[in-house]
Amino acid sequence: MSAYNFGYLDEHTKRMVRRAILKAVAIPGYQVPFGSREMPLSYGWGTGGVQVTASIIGPDDVLKVIDQGADDTTNAVSIRRFFARTTGVRTTTRTREATIIQTRHRIPETPLRAGQIAVFQVPIPEPLRWLEPREAETRAMHALEEYGIMHVRLYEDIALHGRVATAYDYPVRANGRYIMRPSPIPKFDNPKLDRNPALLLFGAGREKRIYAVPPWTKVESLDFEDHPFAVERWDQPCALCGSRESFLDEVIVDDKGGRMFICSDTDYCRERREPAP
């Protein structure tokens, strides 16, 4: 522990990241460039999220890390251990107890409350990237609010599949201004972004961008008037806890075609199965 500075990063780096976070909070959805550092994990495993968490974490914080909703997957376990070793803070798997929740691909089912911070790991922060490859051009498009092209993507979905088939990383508009990629969360979680009491921070390490949604900010998912935004539903409840409200994963249980649907949020599922205290 004493071999590392608190939270692994040096203080100058943390200050630089915090400045980027402050700017990001001031302009919801705007991608702030920052000097991303090499981290002791590979790109694509959450280098952006780790740097954001390392810059905001304090000795009194309680950290929860999830990957696809689960607390016990490789990525989540590694990052949780990394912070336990480099900061000594208390870690938890319980959403209610955590003050900082670093997440990949999900927002917890248990509603976040004011004072909590969710840190998202973002692979590609630019929502216009696949439609317009030129970085200079996408910046001009953001600056001038030229967002017609975002609907081209939705149009293509409806024309080719009969409905908006984009199921994750569904584009949103933050505070009526910037179009933003909510990281690869399923569109099921998009409504949770809207007017969330918690602070939502997004870090992209490889692309060197940080953006944010401050508490209680309006976040709308893009749609057409005659094809309104809708989230997916399952025709069966969770096989373990019986929830009909949560996002379900399909799990193959044998090699004879057996399968079950269970909550992707393991903490939520566990809490529902435990007897009330």
Please identify, among the stretches 85-93, 175-183, 222-230, 260-268, the one whose residues bind other proteins according to the rule CB under 8 A. Answer: 222-230
3 binds other proteins (CB under 8 A): no
From 61, 146, 220, 271, residue interacting with other proteins (rule: CB under 8 A)? 146
Told to judge if 269 belongs to the known catalytic residues of this protein, a careful annotator would answer yes
Please identify, among the stretches 26-34, 35-43, 56-64, 156-164, the one whose residues bind other proteins according to the rule CB under 8 A. Answer: 156-164
* Cα–Cα distance, 276 to 266 (Å, whole number): 17
User: Do the strands 178-180 and 259-263 form a parallel or antiparallel pair, or are they unpaired?
Assistant: unpaired
Main-chain phi, psi angles of 125, to 5 degrees: -80, -20
Please identify, among the stretches 27-35, 49-57, 116-124, 223-231, the one whose residues bind other proteins according to the rule CB under 8 A. Answer: 223-231
What are all long-range contacts of 124-133, with beta carbons under 8 Å and residues at least 24 apart? 124/181, 124/204, 124/207, 125/31, 125/181, 125/202, 125/204, 125/207, 125/209, 125/211, 126/31, 126/181, 126/207, 126/209, 127/171, 127/179, 127/180, 127/181, 128/179
224 binds other proteins (CB under 8 A): yes
How many residues bind other proteins, per CB under 8 A? 17
Per DSSP, the chain holds a count of helices (H) and strands (E) of 7, 12
136 binds other proteins (CB under 8 A): no
> Closer to other proteins at the Cβ: 94 or 177?
177
> Closer to other proteins at the Cβ: 3 or 144?
144
Told to judge if 241 belongs to the known catalytic residues of this protein, a careful annotator would answer yes
> Closer to other proteins at the Cβ: 3 or 160?
160
Told to judge if 44 belongs to the known catalytic residues of this protein, a careful annotator would answer no
Catalytic pick among 7, 29, 48, 203:
29
Told to judge if 263 belongs to the known catalytic residues of this protein, a careful annotator would answer yes
User: Do the strands 90-91 and 172-174 form a parallel or antiparallel pair, or are they unpaired?
Assistant: unpaired
* Cα–Cα distance, 142 to 30 (Å, whole number): 9
CB of 147 to other proteins, least distance (A): 8
E strand residue ranges, the chain: 32-33, 62-67, 90-91, 100-104, 117-121, 172-174, 178-180, 199-204, 209-213, 219-221, 248-252, 259-263
> Closer to other proteins at the Cβ: 100 or 172?
172
CB of 150 to other proteins, least distance (A): 8
Told to judge if 88 belongs to the known catalytic residues of this protein, a careful annotator would answer no
Task: Report, as residue numbers or ranges, the catalytic residues.
Answer: 29, 238, 241, 263, 269
Which residues are at the interface with other proteins (CB under 8 A)? Answer: 131, 140, 144, 146, 148-149, 151-152, 155-156, 158-160, 224-227
